[in-house]
Chain A
Amino acid sequence: MVPLSWYLIFAAALFSIGLFGVLSRRNAIAILLGVELMLNSVNINLAAFWRYGNVMDMTGQVFAIIVFAVAAAEVAVGLALVISVYRRRNTVVADEIDMMKW
């Protein structure tokens, strides 16, 4: 039997990897890839807590599904924004997208 801690540490590691991607990649799309990793790591946690908690209580799975919906929404809008920015400014480099500066 795999202990709960393995799953949690696995999720934490995946989260940190995603975080690194979000913080360090120049390409906005790559940043969104990192965000996906982070969302997935959260989902692993939710599933793990569902399995190791009361199985009859579906809260963990329900939340995981809602995270799917959120992830889909996030990707859809995020990538649309990237494409839109690319069309106007011809760049997808996050550092160069700084129209919101003061």
Chain B
Amino acid sequence: MMIHEETARLLTWLIPLPPVLAFALIVLFTNRSKWLSHTIGVGAAILSFIGSMLVTVFYAFRVEHFGEHPIESAINWLPTGNTWFRIGVLIDPLGAAVLFFVSITIFMIFLYSVGYQNYGQPAGDHDRAGLPPHGATIEEHGHKHVVPSVEPMYSRFFAFLGLFAFGMYVLVVSDNLLTMFVGWEIMGLCSYLLIGFWYGKPSARNAAVKAFMTTRIGDVFMLLGIAFLYSATGTLTFREIFTEETLHVLASTPAAFGMTASGLIALLLFIGTVGKSAQWPLHVWLPDAMEGPTPVSAMIHAATMVSAGVYAVIRMFPLLTADFTGHGLTTTMSIVAFIGAFTALFAATIAVAQNDIKRVLAYSTISQLGYMIAALGIGAYVAAAFHLITHAFFKALLFLGSGSVIHGMEHGVLHTGNHNVDPQDMFNMGGLRKKMPVTFWTFLIGGFALSGFPLITAGFWSKDEILADAFGHGHWAVFVTLAAAAFLTAFYTMRQITLTFLGEPRTKEAEHAQETPWTMTTPLVVLSVFAIAYGWVGIPEHFPVLGGLVPNWFHDFVGHTLAEVPDAPEFSWIPLLTSLVVALGGLALGWLVYRNVKSVSDDRLQIPLLKNKYYFDEAYDFLFVKPAYWFAETFVYKWMDKGLIDGILHIFGPTTGGIGSAIRNYFDLPVINRFFGDGSADVTYWFGGKLRAIQTGRVQQYLMLALVTFIVIGVALYFFVLA
């Protein structure tokens, strides 16, 4: 069966709509009814899912030459002078592949949330909106016991998820940078809302602000990039930018820092990705984002949203490589490759020393995203897209699995009543494979896929392709770094599995852990199928034995997004062996080291440097946060007593007086003493005193300041630029 082209086009427009309608409906009308809210939410997710499946599986994957004839449709949106700014939808092979996994994972998140937020359980004894549920006491057969309680803001959660899904779909289906950026920002907002979902917890609040502010840095640059691109080409539509002439013009226009215009634009856009995909040095927000409702928001932040960052770079790949001649990476590409490879290794080393089951996964995500970025940096377009998708599947699986583990552990915590036991600390677990068999097996599959367990898991094929690409094109540094990262990945994954599931329970809580309901396990099973099977669509053609059994469909399909299909890297034994060795070696080493570990003190990898994430938070605190506070308090604080304008007046007054007294003192006191001694100190002090507070809290003075600035800049521009 195949649907008609027109239908596909219409469906593409409709895909993002159900979640946003669900958001509106829940917020406006069904806030009170939990059942209605999740029915609407999940129903919307199903609708979008069906739409996406129709568009991808029943159209995009079956059409001949889909790369040349993608699903395109656009309408006029904003008048800009004489022309129109058009917005529209575009599903090309890349978009189809991404839409495929996005719709599946989003559907799974919705389903999983029903169970995770304890639908059907009684309301908690002391639960308050803004705090995680603490459990409810119920009486059954005459004796009381504690069971998990339902989330107090259940409906709100589904509303946010709906908005989030809308943002993601908009990002995927949009045909131009601006609407993509809109979706991007909607997701930024939702991630803020979801991380801070339990706003009663200070840590969650701080994490939300941190995530928002950090990604904002990237987004500002991204917006600059978009503006630059628009001013350079006059369009933001992908298919118009990626024509040969436009790219050629961009590639031959020199811009700043020895880069071409295309390079600079790509770099600016890439900085947005650095923020969104949590790449070094803007990676700090992602681990903290684990403060959100455990697995679901973690999954959003780790499997779907951060993928958007990588997706953006993949989208912009033609721009990134516009001035790439085939030998010798351009400046931008080297930067991308360096940041990616560095992040991959760097995050992997941190992950090794984390005890929180979610934080390990968070760093692992950063590391894997670094993989993809590095792959893009060396021009491995298809490999990056492939890894993006396989990673999304298995990382979603792992996060949901970890959520399931935590949920099971919370069960144990409620049972024993000892709330000092952290249900997320892996050292409190152990032996869970018997308590939670489904979770165990699916987690194992996910973990093996992450480690790149040879042949059967999806992760192996995608990782291998990146390594092969890096090797094949002679990017040795990248190759070695990524191989080392892969080794560490396998190691910490096995560490995690061993600590969590194998061995014997280390605490009473772990003994009383319980398997989670079907709404939570079903997504795990579904995703684990993809975590294995999705690898088979991308087996390289010349792979020994297996190669050619199944055609390398993925490479063929996604490759056609670009004007010229990139060549698959030639087969070579060295990267294959490397990936075999690192994956199996890492797994084995992890198991050997941790099978006997009984407590934290036995773990020799608790190195303070790694434990504290290379002190990045502290460094940022020292470098940025403290100065900002200092600036605010010292620079900005008391000046405002008097008001800004009064402040200026007060500068004039004392200045006049100061000049007078300075002249007097100039004759009275030794020049040297006055000038070099007290003078410098006094000037600083006086200046500081006067500039203490620019912030009055009074709108009018702000406006005046803004106007003064505006006038000054306007006059300056007029005379120096126009005239």
Interface residues of A (CB under 8 A from B): 19, 22-24, 31, 59, 94-95, 97-102
Say which one of B128-136, B233-241, B632-640 lies at the interface with A. B632-640
Contacting pair B703 A98 (CB below 8 A) = no
Report B-chain residues with C-beta under 8 Å of the C-beta of A99: 697
Q: Please tell me if B63 contacts chain A, counting CB pairs below 8 Å.
A: no
Q: Note all chain B residues with C-beta closer than 8 A to A19.
A: 707
Report the minimal beta-carbon distance from B62 to chain A, rounded to whole angstroms: 44
Of residues 666 to 708 in B, which have CB atoms within 8 Å of A's CB atoms?
A: 693, 695-700, 703-704, 707
Q: How far is the CA of A93 from the CA of B611 in the complex (A)?
A: 53
Give the complex CA separation of A95 and B646 in angstroms.
13
Complex Cα–Cα for A24 and B703 (A): 11
User: Given the complex, which residues of A lie within 8 Å of B703, measured CB to CB?
Assistant: 22-23
Find out whether the CB atom of B79 lies under 8 angstroms from the CB atom of A22. Answer: no
Instruction: Check A59–B695 contact: CB distance below 8 A.
Output: no
Q: Which residue from chain B places its CB closest to the CB of A100 in the assembled complex?
A: B697
Can you list 26 pairs linking A and B with CB atoms under 8 Å apart?
A22-B700, A22-B703, A23-B700, A23-B703, A23-B704, A24-B700, A31-B699, A59-B79, A94-B698, A94-B700, A95-B698, A95-B700, A97-B697, A97-B698, A98-B696, A98-B698, A99-B697, A100-B697, A101-B640, A101-B696, A101-B697, A102-B632, A102-B633, A102-B636, A102-B637, A102-B697
Beta-carbon nearest neighbor of A26 in chain B: B700
> What are the residues of chain A within 8 A of B633 when measuring CB–CB?
102
Nearest residue, chain B, Cβ from A95: B698
A95 CA to B217 CA in the complex, in Å?
33
* B: interface residue count bin: 10 to 19
Cα A31 to Cα B697 in complex, Å, equals 16
B122-178 residues with Cβ-Cβ distance < 8 A to A are none
For B637, the chain A residues whose CB sits under 8 A away are 102
B632 proximity list for chain A (CB < 8 A): 102
**Closest B residue by C-beta to A31:** B700
Give Cα A80–Cα B362 distance, bound, in whole angstroms.
44
Within 8 Å CB of A102, what residues of B?
632-633, 636-637, 693, 695, 697
Give the chain A neighbours of B698 by CB distance below 8 A: 94-95, 97-98
Residue from B79, B637, B698, B704 having most chain A Cβ neighbours under 10 A: B698
Q: A59 to nearest B CB, angstroms? A: 6
The residues of A that contact B640 with a CB separation of less than 8 Å are 101
Instruction: Tell me the minimal C-beta distance from A53 to chain B in angstroms.
Output: 12
Decide: B697 and A98 in contact? CB cutoff 8 A.
Answer: yes
Chain A proximity of B81: nearest CB distance (Å): 10
Residues of B within 8 A of A95 (CB): 698, 700
How many angstroms between the C-alpha atoms of A99 and B695 in the bound complex? 11
Q: Tell me, in angstroms, the Cα distance from A44 to B564 when the chains sit together.
A: 54
Query: How many angstroms between the C-alpha atoms of A97 and B698 in the bound complex?
Result: 7
Q: A23-B704, A101-B640, A102-B636 are in contact. Are A94 and B695 (CB under 8 A)?
A: no
Cβ distance A36 to chain B, nearest Cβ, rounded Å: 16
Contact of B695 among A22, A23, A101 (CB under 8 A): A101
Residues of B within 8 A of A24 (CB): 700
Whole-angstrom distance between the Cβ of B256 and the nearest chain A Cβ: 36
A100 to B701, CA, bound (A): 13
Bound complex: CA A98 to CA B693 (Å): 14
User: Within the assembled complex, what's the spacing in Å between the Cα atoms of A88 and B555?
Assistant: 64
B699 lies within 8 A of A94 (CB): yes
Having A23-B707, A101-B695, A102-B636, one finds 7 other A-B pairs with CB under 8 Å, namely A31-B700, A95-B698, A98-B697, A101-B696, A102-B633, A102-B637, A102-B695
Chain A residues within 8 Å of B636, by CB: 102
In the bound complex, CA of A99 to CA of B696 (Å): 9
Which residues on the B side are within 8 Å of A23 (C-beta)? 700, 703-704, 707
Q: How far is the CA of A19 from the CA of B700 in the complex (A)?
A: 10
Give residues 597-645 of B contacting A (CB, 8 Å): 632-633, 636-637, 640
* Complex CA–CA separation, A40 to B166 (angstroms): 37
Chain B residue contacts of A98, Cβ below 8 A: 696-698
Within the assembled complex, what's the spacing in Å between the Cα atoms of A98 and B695? 10
Which residues of A are found within 8 Å of B707, using beta-carbon distances?
Answer: 19, 23
Q: How far is the CB of A20 from chain B (nearest CB, A)?
A: 11
Query: Which residue of A has the minimal Cβ distance to B702?
Result: A100
The 3 closest A-B pairs by CB, nearest first: A101-B697, A98-B697, A100-B697
CB A49 to nearest CB in B, in angstroms, measures 13
Chain A residues lying within 8 Å of B79, measured Cβ to Cβ, are: 59
A23 vs B699: C-alpha distance when bound (angstroms): 9
Chain B nearest CB from A12 CB (Å) reads 14
Give B633's nearest chain A residue, CB to CB.
A102
In the complex, residue of chain A having the shortest beta-carbon distance to the beta carbon of B637: A102
Q: Which residue of A lies closest to B79 (CB)?
A: A59
Report the separation of the CA atoms of residues A83 and B79 in the bound assembly, to the nearest whole angstrom: 38
B83 to A: closest C-beta gap in Å: 13
Nearest-Cβ distance from residue A66 to partner chain B, whole angstroms: 12
- The docked-state distance in angstroms from the alpha carbon of A59 to that of B82 is 11
| Chain B: minimal CB distance from A99 (Å) | 7
Instruction: Provide the residues of chain A in CB contact with B704, threshold 8 Å.
Output: 23
Interface of chain B residues 696 through 723 with chain A (CB within 8 A): 696-700, 703-704, 707
B400-443 CB contacts (< 8 Å) to partner A: none
Query: Which of B636, B693, B696 is the most central at the interface, judged by chain A CB atoms within 10 Å of its CB?
Result: B696
Which residues in A have their C-beta under 8 angstroms from that of B693? Answer: 102
Chain B residue at smallest Cβ distance from A101: B697
Min distance, Cβ B605 to any Cβ of chain A, angstroms: 43
* C-alpha spacing A53/B246, complex, angstroms: 33
Chain B: CB-nearest residue to A28 = B699
CB nearest to A102 among chain B residues: B695
Chain B residues numbered 35-80 whose CB sits less than 8 Å from any CB in chain A: 79
For the complex, give the distance between the alpha carbons of A98 and B641 in Å.
Answer: 11
CB-CB nearest in chain A for B643: A95
In angstroms, Cα B699 to Cα A59, docked, is 33
Q: Which residue of A lies closest to B693 (CB)?
A: A102
> Chain A residues near B697 (CB, 8 Å)?
97-102
Taking CB atoms, residues of chain B closer than 8 Å to A59 are: 79
Query: From residue B711, how far is it (CB to closest CB) to chain A in Å?
Result: 11
Give the chain B neighbours of A94 by CB distance below 8 A: 698-700
* Bound-state Cα–Cα, A98 to B642, Å: 13
In the bound assembly, the distance between CA atoms of A95 and B645 in angstroms comes to 13
Nearest Cβ on chain A to B471's Cβ, whole angstroms: 55
Q: Closest CB-CB distance, B13 to chain A, in whole Å?
A: 25
Complexed CA–CA distance, A49 and B632 (Å): 45
A59 to B79, CA, bound (A): 9
Cα separation A102 to B637 with both chains bound (whole Å): 8
Nearest Cβ in chain B — how far from A17, in angstroms?
15
C-alpha gap A4/B367 in the complex (Å): 62
How many angstroms from the CA of A102 to the CA of B640 in the assembled complex?
A: 10
A101–B698 Cα distance when bound, in Å, is 8
